[in-house]
A and B are shown apart, each in its own frame.
Chain A
């Protein structure tokens, strides 16, 4: 199975900050990577697919990059509604696997 490792596990930031979350795959997955946002009590929300494609309706302050084994999710200017947990997920091969999550907290 492909292991997905996110860093950091948690991060504190302020409104307006630029934040970057990293995801590393245990083997190459080309660009088969998605990022999800998860708020308490809500279903996950697809932000980015194919490593860098913005899902319809997602604000442009979210962006993704990377290929192979190393990927990043960047939020260019944090808004109050962005404080949540973020997960990466590989879709290169079954079984699909998720990272352990990165909790983005208000500083």
Chain B
């Protein structure tokens, strides 16, 4: 059974940093691209970042480019999101999501499994 479990959320002041983790199980982690998707209170879904299975390619939304870094440790079956220079508008529930395509080097962009999310609140 595929499981994705996010952790690392919490309350942080504007300008602060936080690192989210997503522990994956039930599938060959290194063979799938992964993404982070967020949902701010009362808003819709917003894709944040993606990384290929090998970790060799990454992509970011313009809203987080230069501030957030996605990475993965395939030996630990864990996805990360390092968030720096946090702003109030980054407040959201952050979900990790598994790409549908079985490939270490490509994306398909459809998310067939999602975690339950971790809440990040940026406030003074």
Residues of A within 8 A of B (CB): 1, 32, 34, 36, 38, 43-46, 49-50, 55, 87, 89-92, 94-101
A101 touches B44 (CB 8 A): yes
Minimum CB–CB distance from B55 to chain A (whole Å) comes to: 17
The residue on B at minimum CB distance from A50 is B110
Interface extent on B, as a size class? 20 to 34
* A–B Cβ pairs within 8 angstroms, 30 of them: A32-B109, A34-B110, A34-B111, A36-B45, A36-B111, A43-B114, A43-B115, A43-B117, A44-B45, A44-B95, A45-B114, A46-B111, A50-B110, A87-B44, A87-B45, A89-B45, A89-B109, A89-B110, A91-B108, A91-B110, A92-B109, A94-B50, A95-B60, A95-B62, A96-B35, A97-B47, A98-B45, A98-B46, A98-B47, A99-B44
The residue on A at minimum CB distance from B95 is A43
Q: CB within 8 Å of A: which of B75-124? A: 95, 97, 100, 107-112, 114-117
Residues of B within 8 A of A (CB): 35, 44-47, 50, 59-62, 95, 97, 100, 107-112, 114-117
Inter-chain contact total with CB atoms closer than 8 Å: 59
| Contact partners of B47 in chain A: CB under 8 A | 89, 95-98
Q: Is the interface of A mostly helix, strand, loop or mixed?
A: loop
B109 touches A1 (CB 8 A): no
A95 touches B110 (CB 8 A): no
